[in-house]
């Protein structure tokens, strides 16, 4: 493979799983759970770092290797999930960026004010399923 692309990587992942008879375990539920675990492992690397330390995380060879491995694991499970569900990851991302550009136009005031109040144009706060 001379040029990396999503379709080729998805095929390699599918071939890898098929050669080991793992497809039966690659259900959407299992893949989402594995994706969550791998994302948590990536979070763990940054968990107790200051913002300044986190910006320099790739300066340390061992930590950089761990970050790359966890990013690869997250991407692998995400690509496998997309394959199983028939989601075109690039088209989904493109459509999401389009929606966000309409929701949050460039030039609009953004960010948080000191009081913690949301300003016009800022992304909405994360809502948990128990919130109304």
Residue 12 scores a pLDDT above 90 = yes
Residue 4 binned pLDDT confidence (cut-offs 50, 70, 90):
confident
Token digits for 88? 């075109």
Residue 39 binned pLDDT confidence (cut-offs 50, 70, 90):
very high
The Cα 121–Cα 108 span in angstroms is 5
Mean pLDDT, to the nearest integer, of 40-45?
98
pLDDT digits (tens, 9 = 90+) for 60-90: 999 999 999 999 999 999 999 999 999 999 9
The Cα 127–Cα 132 span in angstroms is 8
Non-local CB neighbours of 53 within 8 Å, separated by 6+ positions:
none
The Cα 22–Cα 57 span in angstroms is 34
Residue of 47, 132, 43, 38 whose CA lies nearest to 80: 38
What pLDDT is stored for residue 27 in this prediction?
A: 97
What pLDDT is stored for residue 108 in this prediction?
A: 77
Residue-by-residue DSSP string for 32-44: HHHHHHHHHHHHH
Token digits for 18? 């098929």
């Amino acid at each position: 493979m001379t040029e990396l692309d999503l379709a080729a990587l998805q095929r390699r992942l599918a071939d890898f799983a098929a050669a080991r008879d793992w497809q039966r375990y690659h259900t959407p539920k299992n893949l989402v759970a594995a994706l969550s675990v791998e994302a948590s492992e990536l979070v763990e690397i940054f968990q107790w770092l200051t913002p300044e330390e986190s910006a320099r995380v790739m300066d340390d060879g061992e930590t950089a290797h761990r970050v790359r491995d966890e990013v690869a694991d997250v991407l692998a499970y995400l690509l496998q999930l997309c394959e199983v569900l028939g989601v075109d990851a690039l088209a989904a991302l493109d459509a999401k960026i389009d929606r966000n550009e309409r929701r949050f136009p460039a030039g609009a005031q953004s960010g948080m004010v000191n009081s913690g109040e949301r300003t016009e144009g800022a992304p909405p706060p994360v809502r948990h399923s128990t919130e109304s």
